[in-house]
Amino acid sequence: MNDRILKTVSNNDERGIIHHFIISPWYDSIQNIKDRSEELSKQTVLLSMLPISILDKFGNTVDVFYSDEEKEKYNFWNTYTFNFQIGTQTMHRFFIEAYKTGKLTYASVISFLENTWFNDVIVRNYHGQIVDVKPIDTLRPGLKRLFEELDRFFA
């Protein structure tokens, strides 16, 4: 996976990186996760006969699942959590690699967002006063801070 990330980052420019970041399916669909959890349940037949226990950080039993329906839901959420962790780690790795090569910067992200609906004016009525709001103005400080922190960390 790491080689694919490095190859994708090296083969794209700033716009390509942002485009890839947006269109990549970082997380599986719910149906794929459900299918995978059912498949894993079938592979572990012996474990599916035993009750499933959830323990807290002190080793105390919080809940026990006995019925097939409960075990199925538990397996789904376990698979979902694993999938979410892998997707998030992959996205994070891609983001950091793109940042380290200088292909993902505050300026490139803002430049991209300026050509989207985030730069459109939205008229709002706040306490009887008409106010023009641009969503990008809300994002700028947070994004700027994010990239400043990355600059400090990787300096």
Amino acid of residue 111: S
Domain locations along the chain: 1-104, 105-155
pLDDT of amino acid 37: 85
Separation of alpha carbons 89 and 94, rounded Å: 9
| pTM for this predicted structure | 0.76
Cβ atoms 4, 12 nearer than 8 A: no
pLDDT of amino acid 47: 60
Within 8 A by CB and 6+ apart from 83, the residues are 27, 28, 33, 36
Residue 17 neighbours by CB distance under 10 Å: 25
- Region 21-29: what's the mean pLDDT? 91
Name the band, by pLDDT with cuts 50, 70 and 90, for residue 48.
low
pLDDT tens per residue across span 81-136: 999 999 999 999 999 999 999 999 999 999 999 999 999 999 999 999 999 999 99
